[in-house]
Structure 1
Amino acid sequence: MIIIAGLGNPGAKYEKNRHNIGFMAADEIGRRWRFGPSRAKFQSVVSEGEVETANGAVRVLLMKPQTFMNESGRAVGEAARFYKVTPQDIIVFHDEIDLAPGRFRMKTGGGAAGQNGIRSIISQVGADFRRARMGVGHPGEKHLVMPHVLGDFHKAESPWLQALLNACADALPFALAGDDERYQGEVLRLAPAPKFSPRQAARGEL
């Protein structure tokens, strides 16, 4: 069993926020691989599915914690204990302000780098889980970070956003087979990040 957790905040108010890109990735994965119906479990909305990889079929629990971002670890930890999975069997999709919009990086272990959802998960399962970091860009000033991540994606960002979500779903078998480097490369091949002027990105002129 592999647990895939997309991070975000529950409710219509937050649905299109940059902070909710993890929820968006989870939704796209569920659609692409035709996961089963959603239900409430582990303080989350969860669905289950099976994905064919080079190493055979892999069972996946897809979860969107409903605890709000800062308490995501409570939900992920509960699921991890129930299924007795190791941190290496947990993949967390989340927004990353230290990556330019549309960039994508896989990482295992390390600190939270200011991402409170990641900090919460570290507190519950340790640091050695796998992070699918989805770039949303930095607004340029520290005091602007919160309104930036809790702001909605601009309409002009839709092309790269949808391409990234599709790529994360389409290339998923590589991650489920344990080849994070190949997964990262394939996502970037399928969804090359757009070229932004940092000044334009900071002003929202995308």
Structure 2
Amino acid sequence: MSVAFLLTTLVVVVTPGTGVVYTLAAGLSHGRRASVTAAFACTLGIVPHLLATVTGLAALLHTSAVAYETVKYLGVGYLLYMAWATLRDRDALTVAARSEPQSAGRVIVSGVLLNLLNPKLTMFFVAFLPQFVPAGAEGSAAAMLRLGGVFMALTFVVFAAYGLFAAAVRDRVLARPGVLTGVRRVFAVCFVGLSARLAVA
């Protein structure tokens, strides 16, 4: 495995995007367990894109404008929904002594959908992974799966670190009503901005 692959993957994963915003929100809202669950969910959402790339299904998105636009705008719609839900649910970012934790299933479903409805992730794999696998080499599919596994592992570690940091400062940040409102608005704006970036891609 080349150093170039690891460095490129790390840069891509560390750069804040939809998954990072979602993991930070989970950490601030519900603590360490939810942040790790969110990181796992975002990582799990990579699996369909990786399998599509390896099996050649990604060629459909690459060659069919209708298919690509359909998935893209489903993703845009879901991001806008996340922005609306963040502003609407005033109890989402709270700190209470005995607050009920958000169910792991709900966190996982939301995290998986965020990545699943992002066709740019499939396009990234299509353009990225083949560069590190010799063309026509025997076992190239297995090699791409291994590289994809490394990408997923780094994604989980980095996202979990983001989320755990957010969970560590949640009491200080969320105990202040003014900061609480500001944080909710910032997350909503981030989701709207990410949806706009995906829409014009």
TM-score (norm. length: structure 2): 0.24
Rg larger for: 2
Instruction: Decide which structure has greater helix share.
Output: 2
